[in-house]
Chain A
Amino acid sequence: MLILQCPYCGVTAEETELHAGGEAHLKRFGPGSSDDDFHDYLFMRENPRGIHLERWRHVSGCGKWFHAARCTQTLEVFGTYSAQTTEPPQQIKDAISAKRPGWSWRDVSG
Chain B
Amino acid sequence: MSEAVSALNGASFAGLARVEETGLGGMITLRGDFTSAGFQAAVKAATGCAVPELRKITIADRGAVAWMSPDELLLLVDYAEAEAVTASLAEDLAGEHHMAVNVSDARACFTVSGAAAREVIAKVAPVDLAPGQFAPGDFRRTRFAQVAAAFWLDEADVFHIVCFRSVAAYMFNLLSTAAHPQAQVGVYS
A joins B in a complex:
yes
Contact A17 B54, CB 8 Å, known A8-B70, A9-B69: no
Pair B126/A16 contact, Cβ less than 8 Å: yes
Contact A62 B142, CB 8 Å, known A9-B55, A10-B54, A17-B126: no
Interface string of B124-150 (1 = CB under 8 A from A): 001000000000000011110000100
Q: Does A63 contact B (CB under 8 A)?
A: yes
Interface string of B10-50 (1 = CB under 8 A from A): 00000000000000000000000000000000000000000
Pair A16/B143 contact, Cβ less than 8 Å: yes
Cα distance, A17 to B126, chains bound together (Å): 8
Q: Pick the contact of B54 from A9, A14, A60 — CB < 8 Å?
A: A9
Q: Does B100 contact A (CB under 8 A)?
A: no
B139 to chain A, nearest CB (A): 10
- Name the interface size band of chain A: 10 to 19
A61 to chain B, nearest CB (A): 5
Q: Pick the contact of B142 from A8, A17, A64 — CB < 8 Å?
A: A17
Cα distance, A16 to B143, chains bound together (Å): 9
Q: Which residues of B contact A63 (CB under 8 A)?
A: 68-69, 72, 141
Q: Does A11 contact B (CB under 8 A)?
A: yes
Q: Which residues of A contact B70 (CB under 8 A)?
A: 8-9, 62, 64
> Which DSSP category, helix, strand, loop or mixed, fits chain B's interface?
strand
Interface string of A1-23 (1 = CB under 8 A from B): 00000001111011011000000
Cα distance, A13 to B140, chains bound together (Å): 11
Contact A62 B143, CB 8 Å, known A11-B55, A14-B126, A16-B126: no
- Name the interface size band of chain B: 10 to 19
B137 to chain A, nearest CB (A): 16
Question: Nearest B residue to A9 by beta-carbon distance?
Answer: B55
B122 to chain A, nearest CB (A): 13
B129 to chain A, nearest CB (A): 14
Interface string of A47-73 (1 = CB under 8 A from B): 000000000000011111000000000
Cα distance, A63 to B70, chains bound together (Å): 10
Q: Which residues of B contact A17 (CB under 8 A)?
A: 126, 142-143
Cα distance, A42 to B94, chains bound together (Å): 41
Pair A62/B69 contact, Cβ less than 8 Å: yes
Binding site for B on A (CB under 8 A): 8-11, 13-14, 16-17, 60-64
